[in-house]
Amino acid sequence: MLERKLRKDSTDVTFTLPAGVPPGPVSVVGDFNGWTPGVHEFKDRKGGMRAVTVNLPSGQRHAFRYLGVGDHWFDDDSADAHDGRNGHIHT
């Protein structure tokens, strides 16, 4: 799930997943962090969820995916668009 909070010149995007699904550490990777795992790793939240918030420039389109243990890549069904390889979010 994706949540957005508009700021003056940027947008805080919170990526949310159920805790433990998939098991182990998960990172959101995308064009905004050089597709580098571990830069934006999900952290546990109350209520059985885990999340990570990334501040992105407003008015842009960003490609992203999730990366779990064992090189397990997966998508977010709530992305604004999919191109067959990555999800996209518009800020």
pLDDT, position 12:
98
Between β-strands 81-82 and 49-57, what pairing exists: parallel, antiparallel or unpaired?
unpaired
Q: Tell which residue, 35, 37, 33, 36, has the closest CA to residue 24.
A: 37
3-22 burial, b if ≥16 CB within 10 A, otherwise e?
Answer: eeeeeeebbebebbbeeeee
pLDDT, position 34:
97
Q: Given pLDDT bands bounded at 50, 70 and 90, which one contains residue 14?
A: very high
- Give the domains, in start order, of the chain with CATH numbers: 2-79 (2.60.40.10)
* pLDDT tens-place string over residues 37-72: 999 999 999 899 999 999 999 999 999 999 999 999
